[in-house]
Each structure stands twice: as C-alpha cells, then as structure tokens.
C-alpha cells in the first residue's frame, strides 16, 4: 500500500465526462489498496478565460483581485471532482489552498510557498475520504488568496506530497512522460523511464515544457519523487528522482529546444572599459533576463555585442537600449526574432570530453550555422536560425544515439510547417 498524490491538469478535467474518468481512476487507485489525494487544475482553458475577462474590464488589474479571480477556476474543478467521486460511492472532500494549509508570501500572481500544514488532509485520509485539493493557490499571512504562477498546480501537488509524506507524486497530463526530445519535431524521440532532478531542471529551463520548473525545484529540495504520466492511459510514464540507474551510461539525456528567445545586437560599440557593465546593469535593472552574451573581437576599437533574452523581455530590452545606446556612443541596435535555442542536456556530460566537438561537427555537416553558444556543466546550448531548429534537434538526437526504433507518426510535419509553427510559438 502506498500513499499517493495524483495531480490532474486542465486537459484531464476539461469536461464533466473527463472529470468522471478522473474520479474512476482515483477510485481504482483506492481499490488497489492505496491512499490517494487528488490535486486539480482548472477545467480546460478556464484560467485563460478568466484572464480574458479581467483584461476586458481593466488593462492593468490589481494583482490581489486577479488572484481572487483566478483561484476560482480550481475551486470549480475540485468540487466537481469530489462530487464525481461521491457519485461512485466513495467519500471525497475538497479543499481550497487555504484549507489545505498552503501558506505563501504575498507576491500576488507568482507567490512562493513558505509553509505547508497538511493536518486536515491527513485527517480526511484517516477517516477514509479522498481529499481533493485545488491547485495553484495559497493564502498569505494577511489571509488574502494568492496564486503560484501559471502551471502552479504541479507545485501544489509536490507541496502536498511533501506535506503528507507521500511515496510518490503522480502528475497526470496529456503527455505520457518526459521524452528525449519533442516528438512533434523529432519522431524518433524516446520516452525516458527516469530522469534526475538536475537533468529535468536543465531540460525545463531549456524549453521542455512537461513539468513546471518550480515544481521540480521543490521536489529536488524536499526529495519528492515525481511520476509524470498520461491521464488517458495506464502506461508507466517517467520518474523524476535523485538517482537514476541508467545515468552512468548515457552522456546525453535529452535535447530541448526553445523558440521563445530573441537575439539583440548592439553595433558599433566603442571597445572601452566599463561599457558591457553599463549595458548589462541597465538591462538587469529593467528586469531583462539575458541568457547568452557574445562580444566580437574589436576592429579599430569598435565592436558588436549580442545577447539573447526571452521574447517576453524584448520590449523592456528595447526600451533600455534606447536610453543606453546613445550614452555609450554605440551606433545602432538590431533585433533577430527568428532564432531558436537547441540544448543538449545530460549529467553524463560532466565526465565525458568531446561533447561540444561532436555537436558542432554534427551541426556543421548538416549545414546548420551556429549563432551563439553557452554551456553549463550538464548542458550545451547553441542558438541557430529558427527555421533550422527542428533539423538541428533531429541530427543531434541521432548523433548522440538517442533515437528509438519506434517512430512517432501522429504528426509528421514538413520542414515548412515546423518552421511556421516555431515562428508562431513565440
Ligand atoms: N490553472 C492554472 C494555469 O492554467 C494552474 C495550472 O494549470 O497548473 O496556469
Ligand atoms: Mg497546467
């Protein structure tokens, strides 16, 4: 018998029928002899719809009211799920974030959990109930409702799992686990049986969107085992945990790509002391998250500086540079939005020389030009033209022996379709 947290995302509870299916699944887990706690997201696109409603009445809604509004989505799904469980003859009880003892700081819209008191949930479990917890929300010290940021229900699930000392936190979604690459662009991608927290975090940071990054960070900190699996099948998914059996062999665990970054180049920069400091301090001061930075060697005391940043930060970057560029006497700024970042991730990289050389050779042979490079001990990222990103993922996946024999056939997109998709993804 195990103690399990089962988290269901928006797609899995998008309709009454799907909610009934979730109830069935939870009841089955209980019949198998396990103790289960459910955590739910809002139904389907509810959160987006609520955001739309808010925007229709106020372009800049107060964050406190926003959280109050957004938290209702999860309260609808939690109650419906509890009712659906009761309809199958089992006892269920729903809990808001506050009732589940999720206390956060007061940063509305992206609050951080500061403590978890799971007494009520443990008590309900002991009395034979299936507790159903609203994801994504908590309460601050003033008693105001907060939300944890988009995708925050994953974090709730991990927090609840930690609070009750669960054996595993099962995260059900419309994907059946973590893959070595995005199947839609890399049909030979393989499902990973397990992945370490570190690799998962690098994959998530590099654009692989299966699990919310904060949830994985939380899980690593408190050693909660996550099982990412499909809401629509019984197949085993991917376990995210500290130690992985297969880790010794594999150099590369997976390849992630991210089309949301943009490249900004400042041209004609006088190559003098303190210029870079000025530029990047100003960017940081305006909350621009710079990722890769490249400074060309100077000719006649003039150089170019390029950096990449999330597309979401581009407006702020432009604003900042409008001010700074004249101050440093640079010539102009140019922006390239059609770039993508492709990252090789793997703890095994730390002890294996030659990964970079092999990656660069592979890309070179495929005629893919590298615009920028960055590395960490367990990640190697390159920036390439967005139109070549899918091809880059495929050739690297093949070169590092990640290809599975099974081919994913559902969406075999043409190169043009993929490029169009990626351009839109931004
Ligand atoms: N409903 C929230 C969102 O859409 C939280 C979640 O789904 O995890 O972001
Ligand atoms: Mg979600």
- Most ligand 1 atoms within 8 A of CB, residue of 43, 153, 210 to mutate: 153
Question: Looking at ligand 1, which atom is closest to the CA of residue 10?
Answer: 7
The CA–CA distances, whole Å, from 204 to 211, 331, 377 equal 7, 36, 16
Sequence-separated contacts (24+) of 367-372 with Cβ below 8 Å: 368/392, 368/395, 371/263, 371/339, 372/263, 372/292, 372/294, 372/306, 372/308
Residue 295 has a pLDDT of 87
- The residue assigned the tokens 């808010």 is 54
Q: What are the chain's domains?
A: 3-174 (3.40.1160.10), 261-336 (3.30.70.260), 341-425 (3.30.2130.10)
Give the Å distance between the CA of 279 and the centre of ligand 2: 36
- The residue whose CA has the least distance to atom 9 of ligand 1 is 150
- Most ligand 1 atoms within 8 A of CB, residue of 43, 44, 47, 169 to mutate: 47
Q: Tell me the pTM.
A: 0.85
Sequence-ordered list of residues with C-beta below 8 angstroms from that of 339, at least 6 positions apart, any chain = 261, 262, 263, 308, 371, 383, 384, 385, 386
Give the Å distance between the CA of 278 and the centre of ligand 1: 38
Give the Å distance between the CA of 161 and the centre of ligand 1: 18
Pocket of ligand 1 (CB under 6 A): 9-10, 41-42, 47, 73, 135-136, 150-154
**Is the separation of the CB atoms in 156 and 96 below 8 Å?**
no
Give the Å distance between the CA of 153 and the centre of ligand 2: 7
pLDDT 10s digits, 64-113: 999 999 999 999 999 999 999 999 999 999 999 999 999 999 999 999 99
Sequence-ordered list of residues with C-beta below 8 angstroms from that of 107, at least 6 positions apart, any chain = 146
**Is the separation of the CB atoms in 17 and 177 below 8 Å?**
no
Confidence of residue 244 (pLDDT cuts 50, 70, 90): low
Among 92-106, 311-325, 355-369, 394-408, name the one with the lowest average pLDDT: 394-408
Sequence-separated contacts (24+) of 417-421 with Cβ below 8 Å: 418/184, 418/185, 418/390, 419/386, 419/387, 419/390
Give the Å distance between the CA of 149 and the centre of ligand 1: 8
Question: Looking at ligand 1, which atom is closest to the CA of residue 152?
Answer: 8
- The residue whose CA has the least distance to atom 4 of ligand 1 is 47
Give the Å distance between the CA of 184 and the centre of ligand 2: 19
Nearest bound ligand to the CA of residue 151: 1
Confidence of residue 416 (pLDDT cuts 50, 70, 90): low
Show the tokens assigned to 90.
């089992």
Question: Looking at ligand 1, which atom is closest to the CA of residue 148?
Answer: 5
For residue 11, pLDDT over 50 is answered with yes
The Cα 309–Cα 304 span in angstroms is: 17
Residues whose CB is under 5 A from ligand 2 (ion)? 9, 41, 151
**Is the separation of the CB atoms in 226 and 197 below 8 Å?**
no
pLDDT 10s digits, 129-166: 999 999 999 999 999 999 999 999 999 999 999 999 99
Give the Å distance between the CA of 43 and the centre of ligand 1: 9
The length of the chain, given as a count of residues:
426
Kindly give the pairing relationship between strand 261-270 and strand 302-310. antiparallel
């Amino acid at each position: 018998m195990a103690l399990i947290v089962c988290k269901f995302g928006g797609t899995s509870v998008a309709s009454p029928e799907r909610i009934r299916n979730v109830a069935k699944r939870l009841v089955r887990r209980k019949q198998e002899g396990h103790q289960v706690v459910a955590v739910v997201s809002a139904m389907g696109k509810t959160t987006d719809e609520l955001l739309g409603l808010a925007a229709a009445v106020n372009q800049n809604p107060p964050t406190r009211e926003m959280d109050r509004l957004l938290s209702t989505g999860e309260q609808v799904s939690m109650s419906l799920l509890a009712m659906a469980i009761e309809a199958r003859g089992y006892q269920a009880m729903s809990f808001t974030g506050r009732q589940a003892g999720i206390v956060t700081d007061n940063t509305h819209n992206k609050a951080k959990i500061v403590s978890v008191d799971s007494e009520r949930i443990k008590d309900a479990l002991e009395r034979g109930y299936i507790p159903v917890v609203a994801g994504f929300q908590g309460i601050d010290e003033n008693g105001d409702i907060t939300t944890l940021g988009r995708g925050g229900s994953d974090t709730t699930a991990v927090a609840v799992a930690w609070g009750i000392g669960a054996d595993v936190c099962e995260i059900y979604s419309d994907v059946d686990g973590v893959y070595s690459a995005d199947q839609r662009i890399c049909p030979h991608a393989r499902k990973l049986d397990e992945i370490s927290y570190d690799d998962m975090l690098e994959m998530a940071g590099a654009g692989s969107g299966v699990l919310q990054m904060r949830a994985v960070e939380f899980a690593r900190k408190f050693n909660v085992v996550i099982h990412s699996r499909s809401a629509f099948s019984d197949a085993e998914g991917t376990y995210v945990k500290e130690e992985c059996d297969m880790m010794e062999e594999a150099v590369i665990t997976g390849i992630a790509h991210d089309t949301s970054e943009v490249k900004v180049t400042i041209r004609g920069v006088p190559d003098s002391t303190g210029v870079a400091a000025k530029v990047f301090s100003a960017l940081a001061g305006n909350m621009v998250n710079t990722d890769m930075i490249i400074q060309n060697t100077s000719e006649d005391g003039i150089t170019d500086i390029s950096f990449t940043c999330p597309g979401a930060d581009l407006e702020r970057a432009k604003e900042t540079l409008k001010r700074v560029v004249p101050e440093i006497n640079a010539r102009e700024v140019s922006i390239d939005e059609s770039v993508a970042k492709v990252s090789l991730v793997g703890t095994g990289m730390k002890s294996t020389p030659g990964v970079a050389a092999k990656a660069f050779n592979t890309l070179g042979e495929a005629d893919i030009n590298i615009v920028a490079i960055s590395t960490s001990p367990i990640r190697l990222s390159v920036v390439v033209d967005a139109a070549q990103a899918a091809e880059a993922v495929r050739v690297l996946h093949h070169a590092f022996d990640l290809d599975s024999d099974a081919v994913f056939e559902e969406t075999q997109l043409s190169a043009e379709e993929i490029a169009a998709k990626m351009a839109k993804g931004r």
